Amino acid sequence: MEKGNQTSVSEFLLLGLSDWTEKCQPLFVLLLWMYLLGVLGSLLIILAIGSDPHLHTPMYFFLTNLSLADVFLLSTIVPKMLVGIQTQDKSISYIGCLTQIYFFALLIGLDHFLLTGMAYDRYLVICHPLPYTTIMSPRRCALVVAGSWIVSSHHALIHTLLVDRLSFCSSHEILQFFCDFYQVLRLSCSSIFINEVVIFVTAVGLGIIPLIGLLFSYTRIVSTILTVLSAKGRYKAFSTCDSHLSVVSLFYSTSLGTYLCPTSNQTSRLGSMASVMYTVVTPMLNPFIYSLRNKDTKGAPKKLVSRKLIFT
């Protein structure tokens, strides 16, 4: 961080939940249950996939990593919120803020790559079933996932280091319940031109390009399904990707709602609700969407529980 006449900062104030102070206890209970449901649901998905050899396929390999990312995302955001609600302490240390920025950028970037990889997997299953096993080999899937983790971690590290070089003015108030990268930049007294350039470049590389790949995959999937003559055949083809499409729709609709929502004081409650949907509700719902809408993962947890009961 640059030194000079600027004020160095040791902590920030998270004011995203300041409009909800009259409902502290109900909010605490709600967030705690959402956190536990999300973490336990994702861990159950991971255990179920790992224990069932029939689910050792590329799609469920991607889903395992997506569930792991959801656990980390919830654990990055929610525990600090719960502590803040209970103690009425809205502050977060400078290091804690940088840590949230890093992991949030890492995990959101990873979600983009994994969702795109899962869409491409569905595209190959429906549109090119014969060469599917050759293209989506275990080694290639492992390289794709490992590359997604590496690229996302470097992307997050660059943004975090660029924030660390900034100086901040007297206002340390963030109109969010976590250290939102864009709101932290607004508090800076330093030039953020480099940050904005990097934001633009990474938005294209890690946001728009994966989204184009996702839209391409589903455009081809829909066009292929429409060529199927029987209604039963169309339903069977669509049922292989409906759970993933539900997760994609939830992820992108809540992210757009968060960053297109005004962040003025008058709309802080609306902005907080959109952010809660994006950072808490979406990762909480993902395991349940896959469990309820996918027949393979719907039966896997039951098999896991019954297997445990037999051995006990």
CA-nearest of 169, 118, 147 to 2 is 169
In a domain, 122, yes or no: yes
Assigned domain for 5 exists: no
Summarised one tens digit per residue, pLDDT across range 197-232 is 999 998 888 888 888 999 999 999 999 998 887 888
User: 169-187 pLDDT, tens per residue?
Assistant: 877 888 888 998 888 998 9
Order of strands across the sheet that contains 11-14: 91-93, 11-14, 173-174
Q: Which residues contact 210 (CB under 8 A, 6 or more apart)?
A: 112, 113, 115, 116
Please check whether residue 279 lies inside any domain of the structure.
Answer: yes
304 is a domain residue: yes
Q: For the whole prediction, is pTM greater than 0.85?
A: yes
The string over 48-63, giving b where at least 16 C-beta atoms fall within 10 Å of a residue's C-beta and e elsewhere, is bbeebeebebbbbbbb
Q: What's the pLDDT score for residue 2? A: 42
Number of domains in the chain: 1
Mapping DSSP to helix (H, G, I), strand (E, B) and coil, where does residue 41 land? helix
Domain membership flag for residue 20: yes
Contacts (Cβ under 8 Å, ≥6 apart) of 95:
none
Asked if residue 1 belongs to a domain, the reply is: no
Answer whether residue 69 is part of any domain.
Answer: yes
Each residue's pLDDT tens digit, 273-283? 778 888 999 99
Kindly state whether residue 70 falls inside one of the protein's structural domains. Answer: yes
Q: pLDDT digit string (tens) for 112-126?
A: 999 999 999 999 999
Look up the domain containing 109 and give its range. 11-311
The CATH number that applies at residue 305 is 1.20.1070.10
